[in-house]
Amino acid sequence: MNRKHKKVWWTLGIIVAVLVVLIGVGEAYFFNVAFVPGEKSVLNKYSSKKKKDPLAQNKKWYAKAKKEHWHMQSATSNYRLDANYIPKKNSNKTAVLLHGFGNNKDTMAPYAAMFHQLGYNVLIPDARAHGQSQVSTLVMAGLKNMMLENGLKRTLLPKVKNRKLCSLV
């Protein structure tokens, strides 16, 4: 190989290496923006006004609402599961609100206020390993929901005075 061909191959190799590094850095940045939870400065960067929380009134209602604090043993083990029950006077309907992965029962506050205003009693349990509920290992989402449902049927739902139920998952 002559000197000119070596120089071309070296130049191409350096260009490819730089492109690989740039793509890796860009990929890491976009992964962080898209998947890592938390405040995203890039999303708020161009917003000139602070946005008003449309659910603030419902959250405030939930904070002040009289809640019965219920505890139960999980259906398949001896872990304590935690729930809030907000009764509605003269209601024979109950809404069971189940939060998503990484949240807790208090994140369902806006929905609790909405269902309560619609005339429902509201039951909001913490799933295993979330909020004030216990568990030693993280349970996969489908299994977790099945266990929560079985636990509700065996322990919490008998406490509910009526059987007209609505669930929001």
Q: Domain segments of the chain: what residues?
A: 3-44, 56-168
Q: Is 110 helix (H, G, I), strand (E, B) or coil?
A: helix
The model's confidence at residue 138, banded by pLDDT at 50, 70 and 90, is: very low
Residue 140 has pLDDT above 80, yes or no: no
Spell out the residues 6+ positions from residue 133 whose beta carbon is closer than 8 angstroms to its own. 79, 80, 81, 82, 125, 126, 127
Query: How far apart are alpha carbons 65 and 87 in whole angstroms?
Result: 10
Q: State the Cα–Cα distance between residues 12 and 18, nearest whole angstrom.
A: 10
Confidence of residue 56 (pLDDT cuts 50, 70, 90): confident
In CATH, 56-168 is 3.40.50.1820:
yes
Q: How many CB atoms lie within 10 A of CB 106?
A: 16
Higher pLDDT, 14 or 31: 14
Integer angstrom CA distances of residue 74 from 37, 101, 102, 156, 164: 29, 18, 19, 10, 23
Across 35-49, 74-88, 127-141, the highest mean pLDDT is recorded for 74-88
105: nearest Cα among 77, 70, 78, 135:
70
Write the pLDDT tens digit of every residue in 84-121.
899 988 888 888 888 777 777 888 888 899 999 999 99
The whole-angstrom separation of Cα 55 and Cα 100 is 18
For the chain, the average pLDDT equals 75
Calculate what percentage of the chain has a pLDDT beyond 90.
15
- Distance CA(63)–CA(113), nearest Å, equals 10
pLDDT at 14: 95
Per DSSP, helices labelled H in 36-162 are 41-44, 56-64, 109-117, 141-151
- In sequence order, the 6+-apart residues with CB closer than 8 A to the CB of 53 are 59
Instruction: Please give the Cα distance from 106 to 110 (Å, whole number).
Output: 9
Answer yes or no: is pLDDT of 166 > 80. Answer: no
Q: Regarding predicted confidence, which is higher, 6 or 163?
A: 6
Q: Return the minimum-mean-pLDDT range out of 38-52, 87-101, 147-161.
A: 147-161
Residue pLDDT, tens place only, 20-32: 999 999 888 887 7
- Span of 38-47, 98-107, 118-127, 131-140 with lowest mean pLDDT: 131-140
Q: What is the pLDDT of residue 156?
A: 56
Q: Cα–Cα distances in Å, from 129 out to 70, 136, 143, 144, 166?
A: 17, 8, 13, 9, 24
